[in-house]
């Protein structure tokens, strides 16, 4: 093996959502390029949303991603309600936040236990992990189940919920129906705190992010279901100005569009949220973070597993708070009257900020749709990390370097189906 | 030796294979009964075929996938499609009724980089399929039933009736009769357990048309509920658009 001319290929990257490939070229001991090749077939949502009625966007865009459908639904209704000047009020807003907490718990538990932890512990998957540590995997599955229980009770279904709509819900659950859910969540909270302690003990490679961070921010809470957009570099703008700062452009090696922030590389997702908004976490979540050795910011992408665990604690804590002060929305949805307008919506999908924009006609039909998913935004940052990781680890053999690359990609919980899409990894050294 | 299970993905949202991971109570039990030989979303361990049971998610939308599904079929003793994309082409089959080149140019600045077919087609249009599990997404209970059935070599117990029968069995009041809410329940394949009527919403057809669905009669009823022709067209044209289109002509004006 020589560093001057090596070629490394892995046919598929596993434990990510969707399909793609990575091509790294190393020449003369120098990383020439690291392309995340997303080739998952495009599905053209933005094209066939045109001509659809505004309420349909909630059901249709949820089908972009089976892992984070509530994120798509939420950004869609945020944009529609922005366009039509609708304010749903506090009780509906709280129920929506509860629903979104369910998605965070479920998606994060899936990623921490089933997709990411095997990297730290040297297993191919959680099933193999369970043969040695069954109780740990069962704890993760119980957490995931608690998140799904929220999605099923409030949303009507865990994947592609049927109950939410533009303006609110078809039916709001009663306080009595929510009571058993609170019981399940109180038990899950112990599991979530144990999760933080567990992942805090994982050995992490060193890597320090050196680019800008972007997240939603709400004045009075850790932003999840809406907010303004802020960056570590000091930008602070409403969703309507998103397109002034974030520009998507196409690259030949990907069916996902790449995004830049004022021409620069940036990151969205748990690290960005935590670094920008950790002061807004609940006392319990902040304490769990401090005990896990996290400061007020976190810039090591491998430590994102700890941040996700802390966000699970927060989401359960927050879900319990919402259930504790639940006021059943009556009616379950406010009236929505269509008008010719443009609307913008953002929300924090488990893997990062998701932006929707719709142009609507007077009858409420969609004239134009733009969707910027988190993984498109993070693609350039992932490629940058890969370049640095490969450069710093050229002494590793091909198998070890490949595993490290895959692990690095999983740090971002990329949702390739969202961004269109599948990872197949090949590293060419010449 | 334990039977082997493989999970394959084509054009889709990952939601149907996620349903397998959503079987939190059954997952480790299933994993104890089978060898998970190929399941990229969940494992980096890939074992060579042949496979006893393959679950296939997603529709065929590229020429490479036309070839890939043939190789999956060759390696699979039993091939089961999971979900509306694999079984009916999914919502991406809306391209079948539009101009894919125009679609491509709407989404991508340099459309020539994007390789895609003009159609999104179900798996059964390309290779023989042993069982088609409906739904967008599939139902968790039905998935466990189908896997269990094929592992012991019996026929899955999946009712081939309409959502109406599930709605009645739950004792729900009919949203169309009582509230005048348009509902696809009478023509939609059962399987979800009448989720939408349980929140006083009309069914919107996630499981696709049941066999022998009387679309003509339902279309008249939808119009009685206040839907115009365009709205009726849209409500059939979602996640199972190609399957509803192949059903009986639903345009009552013709």
pLDDT tens digits, B64-96: 999 999 999 999 999 999 999 999 999 999 988
**Partner B contacted by A137 (CB < 8 A):** yes
**Partner B contacted by A9 (CB < 8 A):** no
Q: Does A159 sit within 8 Å of B137, measured CB to CB?
A: yes
pLDDT greater than 70 at residue B181: yes
Residue A256: the pLDDT is 64
Instruction: Give contacts of A69 with chain B, Cβ < 8 Å.
Output: 13, 15
**Partner B contacted by A162 (CB < 8 A):** yes
Q: Which of A272, A263, A234, A267 has the alpha carbon at shortest distance from A384?
A: A267
Q: Which ranges of chain B would DSSP assign to H, the alpha helix?
A: 15-21, 27-33, 63-75, 84-88, 100-107, 140-152, 163-169, 175-179, 195-198, 215-224, 229-236, 241-246
Residue A254: the pLDDT is 66
Q: How high is the mean pLDDT of chain B?
A: 91
Mean pLDDT value across residues A302-329: 98
Q: Which member of B21, B65, B94 has the closest CB to residue A110?
A: B21
* Contact (CB, 8 A) for B116 and B61: yes
Q: List the single best residue of A58, A127, A132, A145 to mutate versus B (max B Cβ within 10 A).
A: A127
Residue B233: the pLDDT is 93
Mean pLDDT value across residues A245-272: 83
Pairing, β A266-268 against β A212-217: parallel
**Residue A398: band (very low, low, confident or very high) from pLDDT cuts 50, 70, 90:** confident
Q: Does A47 sit within 8 Å of B21, measured CB to CB?
A: no
Instruction: Give contacts of B106 with chain A, Cβ < 8 Å.
Output: 44, 46-47, 50
| pLDDT tens track for B219-231 | 999 999 999 999 9
**Residue A32: band (very low, low, confident or very high) from pLDDT cuts 50, 70, 90:** confident
CA–CA separation, B239 vs B26, rounded Å? 28
CA–CA separation, B172 vs A221, rounded Å? 39
Question: Which range has the worst mean pLDDT, A137-141, A332-336, B177-181, B240-244?
Answer: B240-244
**Residue A406: band (very low, low, confident or very high) from pLDDT cuts 50, 70, 90:** confident
Instruction: Give contacts of B204 with chain A, Cβ < 8 Å.
Output: 59, 162
Residue A327: the pLDDT is 96
* Contact (CB, 8 A) for A316 and A101: yes
Cα distances from A303 to residues A280, A295, A353, A375, A420, in angstroms, run 20, 12, 19, 18, 26
Nearest C-alpha in A relative to B115? A41
Tell me how close the Cα of B92 comes to any Cα of chain A, in angstroms.
Answer: 5
Pairing, β A21-27 against β A30-37: antiparallel
Q: Which member of B44, B104, B206 has the closest CB to residue A14?
A: B44
pLDDT greater than 50 at residue A362: yes
* Contact (CB, 8 A) for A377 and A366: no
Nearest C-alpha in A relative to B62? A41
Residue B114: the pLDDT is 63
Residue A359: the pLDDT is 97
> With pLDDT > 90 as the criterion, what percentage of chain A qualifies?
72
**Partner B contacted by A310 (CB < 8 A):** no
Q: Which member of A48, A66, A125 has the closest CB to residue B13?
A: A66
> With pLDDT > 70 as the criterion, what percentage of chain B qualifies?
93
Instruction: Select the more confidently predicted residue: A251 or A343.
Output: A343
Q: Which of A393, A196, A205, A405 has the alpha carbon at shortest distance from A286?
A: A196
Q: What is the largest CA-CA distance in chain A?
A: 70
Tell me how close the Cα of A12 comes to any Cα of chain B, in angstroms.
Answer: 8
* Contact (CB, 8 A) for B202 and B175: yes
Tell me how close the Cα of A143 comes to any Cα of chain B, in angstroms.
Answer: 9
Q: What is the DSSP string of A358-423?
A: EEE-TTSBEEEEEEE-HHHHHHHHHHHHHHHHHHHTTTS-HHHHHHHHHHHHHTT--BHHHHT---
Mean pLDDT value across residues B133-151: 96
Residue A255: the pLDDT is 64
**Partner B contacted by A255 (CB < 8 A):** yes
**Residue A2: band (very low, low, confident or very high) from pLDDT cuts 50, 70, 90:** very low
Looking up tokens 């718990």 gives A105
Q: Does B15 sit within 8 Å of A46, measured CB to CB?
A: no
pLDDT greater than 80 at residue A21: no
Tell me how close the Cα of B88 comes to any Cα of chain A, in angstroms.
Answer: 15
CA–CA separation, B72 vs B50, rounded Å? 9
Q: Does A127 sit within 8 Å of B204, measured CB to CB?
A: no
Mean pLDDT value across residues A50-57: 96
Q: Does B15 sit within 8 Å of A67, measured CB to CB?
A: yes
Residue A415: the pLDDT is 75
| pLDDT tens track for B229-253 | 999 999 999 999 989 887 544 443 4
Q: How high is the mean pLDDT of chain A?
A: 90
**Residue A428: band (very low, low, confident or very high) from pLDDT cuts 50, 70, 90:** low
Q: List the single best residue of B38, B43, B68 to mutate versus A (max A Cβ within 10 A).
A: B43
Q: Does B199 sit within 8 Å of A170, measured CB to CB?
A: yes
Question: Which range has the worst mean pLDDT, A80-84, A320-324, B42-46?
Answer: B42-46
Mean pLDDT value across residues B46-62: 95
176-205 in chain A: CB under 8 A from chain B:
none
Nearest C-alpha in B relative to A130? B28
Residue B231: the pLDDT is 94
| 3-state DSSP assignment of residue B29 | helix
Question: What's the complex ipTM?
Answer: 0.94
Tell me how close the Cα of B54 comes to any Cα of chain A, in angstroms.
Answer: 17
Q: What is the DSSP string of B42-72?
A: TBS----S-EEEEEEESBB-SHHHHHHHHHH
Domains belonging to chain B, first-starting first, are 4-152 (3.40.50.700), 163-246 (no CATH)
Instruction: Select the more confidently predicted residue: B134 or A403.
Output: B134
Residue B104: the pLDDT is 74
Cα distances from B243 to residues A203, A314, B227, in angstroms, run 51, 43, 21
Q: Which member of A47, A137, A257 has the closest CB to residue B103?
A: A47
Residue A243: the pLDDT is 92
Proportion of chain B in helix, strand, coil states, percent, rounded to 5: 40, 15, 45
**How many Cβ atoms sit within 10 Å of the Cβ of residue A295?**
11
| 3-state DSSP assignment of residue A352 | strand
User: Does a cis peptide bond (omega within 30 degrees of 0) precede residue A377?
Assistant: no
| 3-state DSSP assignment of residue A32 | strand
Q: What are phi and psi of B101, to 5 degrees?
A: -65, -35
Residue A89: the pLDDT is 97
Mean pLDDT value across residues A269-290: 98
**Partner B contacted by A48 (CB < 8 A):** yes
**How many Cβ atoms sit within 10 Å of the Cβ of residue A5?**
13
Residue B216: the pLDDT is 93
Residue A33: the pLDDT is 81
Q: What is the DSSP string of A259-319?
A: EEETTB-EEESHHHHHHHHGGGS-HHHHHHHHHTT--S----GGGHHHHHHHHHHHHHHHH
Q: How many residues are listed for chain B in this entry?
A: 254
**Partner B contacted by A157 (CB < 8 A):** yes
């Amino acid at each position: 093996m020589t560093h001057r001319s090596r070629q490394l290929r892995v046919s598929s990257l596993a434990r990510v959502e969707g399909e793609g490939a990575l091509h790294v070229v190393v020449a003369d001991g120098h990383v020439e390029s690291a392309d995340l090749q997303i080739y998952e077939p495009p599905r053209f949502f933005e094209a066939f949303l045109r001509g659809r009625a505004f309420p349909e966007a909630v059901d249709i865009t949820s089908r972009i991603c089976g892992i984070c459908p509530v994120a798509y639904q939420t950004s869609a209704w945020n944009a529609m309600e922005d366009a039509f000047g609708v304010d749903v009020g506090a009780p509906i807003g709280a129920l929506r936040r509860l629903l979104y907490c369910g998605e965070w718990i479920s998606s994060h538990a899936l990623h921490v236990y089933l997709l990411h932890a095997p990297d730290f512990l040297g297993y191919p998957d959680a099933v193999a992990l369970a043969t040695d540590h069954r109780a740990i995997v069962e704890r993760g599955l119980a957490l995931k189940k608690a998140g799904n229980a929220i999605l099923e009770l409030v949303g009507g279904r865990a994947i592609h919920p049927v109950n939410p709509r533009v303006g609110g819900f078809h039916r709001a659950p009663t306080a009595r129906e929510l009571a058993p859910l609170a019981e399940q969540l109180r038990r899950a909270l112990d599991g979530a705190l144990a999760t933080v302690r567990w992942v805090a003990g994982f050995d992490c490679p060193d890597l320090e992010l050196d680019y800008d961070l972007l997240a939603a921010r709400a004045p009075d809470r850790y932003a999840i279901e809406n907010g303004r957009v802020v960056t570590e570099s000091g930008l602070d703008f409403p969703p309507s100005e998103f397109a002034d700062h974030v520009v998507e452009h196409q690259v030949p090696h990907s069916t996902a569009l790449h995004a830049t922030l004022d021409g620069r590389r940036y990151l969205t997702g748990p690290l960005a949220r935590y670094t920008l908004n950790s002061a807004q976490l609940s006392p319990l979540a902040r304490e769990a973070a401090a005990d896990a050795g996290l400061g007020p910011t976190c810039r090591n992408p491998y430590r994102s597993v700890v941040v996700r665990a802390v966000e699970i604690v927060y989401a359960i804590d927050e879900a319990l708070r919402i259930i504790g002060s639940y006021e059943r929305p009556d009616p379950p949805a406010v009236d929505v009257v269509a008008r010719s307008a443009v609307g913008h919506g953002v929300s924090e999908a488990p893997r990062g900020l998701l932006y929707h924009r719709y142009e609507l006609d007077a009858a409420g039909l969609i004239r134009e749709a733009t969707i910027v998913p988190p993984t498109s935004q993070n693609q350039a940052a992932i490629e940058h990390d890969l370049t640095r990781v490969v450069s710093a680890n050229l002494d590793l053999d091909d198998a070890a370097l490949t595993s490290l690359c895959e692990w690095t990609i999983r740090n971002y919980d990329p949702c390739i189906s969202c961004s269109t899409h599948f990872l197949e990894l090949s590293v060419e050294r010449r | 030796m334990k039977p082997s299970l493989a999970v394959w993905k084509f054009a889709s949202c990952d939601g149907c294979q996620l349903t397998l991971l959503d079987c939190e109570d059954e997952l480790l039990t299933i994993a104890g009964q089978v060898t998970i030989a190929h399941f990229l979303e969940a494992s980096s361990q890939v074992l060579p075929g042949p496979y006893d049971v393959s679950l296939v998610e997603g529709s065929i939308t590229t020429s490479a996938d036309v070839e890939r599904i043939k190789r999956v079929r060759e390696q699979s003793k039993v091939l089961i499609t999971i979900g509306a994309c694999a079984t009916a082409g999914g919502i991406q089959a809306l391209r079948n009724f539009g101009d894919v080149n125009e679609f491509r140019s709407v989404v991508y600045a340099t459309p020539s980089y994007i390789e895609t077919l003009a159609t999104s087609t179900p798996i059964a249009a390309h290779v023989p399929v042993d069982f088609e599990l409906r739904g967008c997404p599939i139902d968790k209970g039905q998935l466990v039933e189908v896997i269990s059935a094929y592992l012991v070599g019996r026929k899955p117990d999946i009712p081939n009736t309409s959502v109406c029968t599930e709605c009645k069995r739950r004792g729900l009041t009919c949203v169309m009769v009582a509230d005048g809410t348009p509902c696809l329940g009478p023509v939609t394949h059962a399987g979800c357990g009448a989720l939408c009527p349980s929140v006083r919403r009309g069914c919107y057809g996630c499981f696709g048309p049941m066999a022998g669905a009387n679309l003509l009669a339902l279309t008249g009823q939808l119009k009685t509920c206040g839907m115009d022709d365009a709205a009726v067209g849209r409500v059939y044209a979602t996640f199972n658009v190609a399957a509803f289109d192949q059903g009986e002509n639903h345009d009552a004006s013709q």
